[in-house]
Amino acid sequence: MKYIYRIAAIGLFCILFLPAESALAKSPSHFGPFKPINISHRGASGHAPEHTFPAYELGTIMEGDYIEIDLQMTKDGELIAMHDETLDRTTGETGMVKDFTLAQIKKLDAGSWFNETFPQKAKPDYLGLQVPTLREIIEQMGPNARYYIETKSPEFYPGMEEKLLDILHEYNLVGENQPVGKIMIQSFSAESLKKIHQMDESIPLIQLLSYYAPAIITNEEVAKIKAYAVGIGMHYTAISPGYVKKVRDSGLLIYPYTVNEKEDMEMLLDWGVTGMFTNYPDRLNEVIGKRMP
């Protein structure tokens, strides 16, 4: 039964992700009965080291709909999965990703920090885990996986968007005759998203927004964002029921991050969000599962 809903949800996503204008005109009222999407934030990073294959595989096993991938670029132009611009927090090496070649980064250990930081979740398998490249993730996670990719600090990485689209085309994840919705691309950088939109309008884009006070969005901001994106993302503590309603009524999708507690997940679903990021896709799957007839 759940599988039928998933197919229906993907079908809706395909309907939704026609070139932004027409999809938005169609979408608003169709969301009620559909399954909100469950996005494994950096993989199932509450259970395994972020941006490693154990985290991605767990995210899929726990029925996350998308694997979130933060992209950085190495000195020799390779796209790798890593949240920070520096190697310090998750590899123990010191320095900027952009100052290291892929070969140097491949020698680093991207798992031990997790065992040290979360001894209660530590596993010997996490010792010595490598930093994956985007290509390796696509090859290892297979054709059925869906990816929610974030261009991180694109200002540091000239040509990152072109390299990203080249890889996505090479693996037939985007482009003509490809099912739309397998890939979503997000960024805090509107410039980065507009560049991607210019290169390929069919890719659903999500504008990330930073709020340092209760979130407010104006009609002008909504109109600007709708010119290239189909939705927005922000920290869940900044938003309110009124904010969610305004965004949904405008036809934009809304994906708050990073929601790890069930009561917060329930609250946001009650408000009508179209999905959310979580380090615990298993918990969100349970919460959503209970709501699906």
Catalogue the active-site residues.
Answer: 41, 83
Segment near Ca ion (CB under 5 A); pick from 63-71, 73-81, 123-131, 165-173 = 63-71
Beta bridge partners of 66: 39
Nearer to Ca ion, 78 or 150 (CB): 150
Helix orientation angle between 134-141 and 53-61, rounded to the nearest 10 degrees: 40
**Strand, coil or helix: 49:** coil
Nearer to ligand G3P, 18 or 149 (CB): 149
Nearer to Ca ion, 12 or 55 (CB): 55
Among 35, 47, 51, 83, binds ligand G3P (CB under 6 A): 83
Among 52, 133, 153, 186, binds ligand G3P (CB under 6 A): 186
* Residue in the block written with tokens 């395909």: 14
Note whether 11 and 181 are within 8 A (CB). no
When CB distances are held under 5 to 8 angstroms depending on the partner's kind, the choice from ligand G3P, Ca ion, none that residue 189 binds is none
- Provide CB contacts within 8 A for 260, sequence distance 6+: 46, 278, 279, 280, 283
Torsion angle of the four alpha carbons 120, 123, 126, 128, in this order, in degrees rounded to the nearest 10:
110
> Minimal distance in Å, beta carbon 168 to ligand G3P?
18
Ramachandran angles phi, psi of 24, nearest 5°: -65, -40
- The answer to whether 70 contacts ligand G3P (rule: CB under 6 A) is yes
Q: What is the DSSP code string of 229-275?
A: -SEEEEEGGG--HHHHHHHHHTT-EEEEE---SHHHHHHHHHHT-SE
Among 78, 150, 161, 282, binds Ca ion (CB under 5 A): 150
Among 70, 78, 161, 282, binds Ca ion (CB under 5 A): 70
When CB distances are held under 5 to 8 angstroms depending on the partner's kind, the choice from ligand G3P, Ca ion, none that residue 257 binds is ligand G3P
Residues that bind ligand G3P (CB under 6 A): 41, 68, 70, 83, 150, 186, 208, 233, 257-258, 277
